[in-house]
Amino acid sequence: MLPLSLLRTAQNHPMLVELKNGETYNGHLVSCDNWMNINLREVICTSRDGDKFWRMPECYIRGSTIKYLRIPDEVIDMVKEETSMKNRGRDNKGGRGGGQSQRNRPAARGNFGGRGGGGPGNKSGNQGGRGTLFNKNKSK
């Protein structure tokens, strides 16, 4: 599972964001992008020492300033549902290849040259298809 997929799933959920400078921002995630830039609503900002507080209706945080994000535990279960739905769609279309196990381990893509190969099931399927074509031609 990718950290940014989890973050995307956490949209509309409350979260705590700690910045590299130690400030923390509590609020609801409105949106995020591939650089981890985020939009929060109904925010409470806490100073580094936890002694000063600021309330603001919304704020935008540059991703590169973030140290970590704390998100509600239940969000991780919602990601699984989303990815498995996607997989089902892809498998039906028979596109691209790549089995479920591969999608769950992103680094595997780079190592094994993901795209082409796909899972063993997919590969044998393709070969099988071609094979039957040849056989038909021969028999005719």
Partner 1 sequence: MASGLDIFVNHTVSIITTDGRNFIGTLKGFDQTINLILDESHERVYSSTTGIEQVMLGLHIIRGDNVAIIGLIDEEIDNRLNLPSIKAEPLNAIVH
DSSP string, 78-138: HHHHHHHHHHHHHHHHT-S---HHHHH-THHHHHHTHHHH--HHHHHHHHHHHHHHHHHHH
Is 1 a binding residue for partner 1 by CB under 8 A? The answer is yes
Closest residue by Cα to residue 115 from 85, 93, 87, 95: 95
Q: Which is nearer to partner 1, 30 or 75 (CB)?
A: 75
Q: How many residues bind partner 1 (CB under 8 A)?
A: 27
The dihedral built from the CA positions of residue 101, 104, 105 and 109, taken in this order, carries a sign that is positive
Round to whole Å and give the CA distance between 78 and 108. 23
User: Judged by CB under 8 A, which stretch of 51-59, 105-113, 117-125, 130-138 contacts partner 1?
Assistant: 105-113
Q: Which is nearer to partner 1, 63 or 122 (CB)?
A: 63
Choose which of 69, 97, 98, 103 interacts with partner 1 (CB under 8 A).
69
Choose which of 52, 55, 70, 86 interacts with partner 1 (CB under 8 A).
70
Which spans of this chain sit near partner 1 (rule: CB under 8 A)? 1-7, 20, 36, 63-64, 66-73, 75-76, 105-108, 110-111
